Amino acid sequence: MDDLTSGSLALSLQDIRSAIADVIATVAPETDRAALAPDLPLREQVELDSVDWVNVIEALCERLQVDIPEADYGRLTTIDSIAACVEARRKVRVSGEQAAPSPASSEDLPFVCHVVDGARVTVRPIRPSDAELEQKFVEGLSSDSRYERFMVTLRALPSAKLKYLTDVDQVGHVAIVATTDRDGQEAIVGAARYAVLDVATSCEFAVAVNDAWKESGLAGVLMHALMRLARRRGMKVMEGTVLSTNSAMLKFMRQLGFRREPVEGDAQVVRVVRDL
């Protein structure tokens, strides 16, 4: 087995730095690897947007078989800082300290700032106090986007549905939102969630972003955060239902590694499934 994917600790810091440069060059092919300074902020050296940055970390985690929590993202600014974090996480993994999935805890929920399409966005858990913000978010979606998300025609959320979406236990029903500043007030511009199914290692997801944020990469940021959280919570499979006419969503799911499966007796929807 390749040293980069083995469980041994033979991997040196230089090996890790080289792996980081490989991943960056894959995500940003125009990168001059030889010119990368290990102690200078990477995003000042390479043009990486928020989604590119998440893709770099995700690819690195997969390549080196480590789990870097989103809470650590803010300090991963240079090749040296990423290498140090990876080395520490590999030592923890090899020692067996994280052999079991993390139990459900508010401590593993994301609270991370991103720059998406030039705007500062915070990804955080939804709260019961977000009911008004959630209602405004849904009302601000186009009628097509509301139908694609809820698969029914609605203008605003009924009170029972609003409570269901915001007053969650963050265990069997996990929900995160992306918020930004709008005229000095916090506004929700995206939301993602999953609910644990009868098979306790499977979950069903849903995601939506404000129409103005489509194609910004925000949906990718939310889904990466949701899948990472589900994986840490011990989920093995994530699935969802997409309208068969929603070609943009189906393409997005394919890019995230979901496979398509037909729904027996209902040609209007498609089941999308991904092993975590």
- Residues 181-211: pLDDT tens digits? 998 999 999 999 999 998 889 999 999 999 9
Tell whether 83 and 193 lie within a shared domain.
no
Domain that holds residue 207: 106-233
Tell whether 127 and 173 lie within a shared domain.
yes
Tell whether 68 and 143 lie within a shared domain.
no
Token code pair at residue 183? 């005229």
Residue 101 maps to a domain: no
Tell whether 112 and 222 lie within a shared domain.
yes
Q: Are 241 and 263 in contact (CB under 8 A)?
A: yes
Residue 238 maps to a domain: no
pLDDT for position 253: 93
Alpha-helical runs (H) found in the chain: 13-27, 42-45, 50-64, 79-95, 131-140, 143-150, 159-166, 218-232, 247-255
Strand partners of residue 38: none
Tell whether 15 and 45 lie within a shared domain.
yes
Read off the pLDDT of residues 136-150 as tens digits, 9 standing for 90 and up. 999 999 999 999 998
Tell whether 76 and 191 lie within a shared domain.
no
CA distance 104 to 43: 33
Token code pair at residue 206? 């849903």
Q: Are 254 and 242 in contact (CB under 8 A)?
A: no
pLDDT for position 98: 47
Residue 273: left (phi > 0), alpha (psi -120 to 50), or beta? Answer: beta
pLDDT for position 86: 84
Query: What is the domain count for the chain?
Result: 2
Tell whether 80 and 140 lie within a shared domain.
no
Nearest to 141 by CA among 201, 48, 41, 211: 211
CA distance 141 to 155: 9
Tell whether 16 and 89 lie within a shared domain.
yes
pLDDT for position 85: 84
Q: What is the pTM of this model?
A: 0.72
Low-confidence ranges of the chain (pLDDT < 70): 1-10, 49-51, 69-74, 92-107
pLDDT for position 130: 96
pLDDT for position 3: 42
Q: Is 65 exposed, middle or buried (0-12, 13-18, 19+ CB in 10 A)?
A: middle
Number of H helices, E strands in the chain: 9, 8
pLDDT for position 74: 66
pLDDT for position 136: 96
Tell whether 138 and 220 lie within a shared domain.
yes
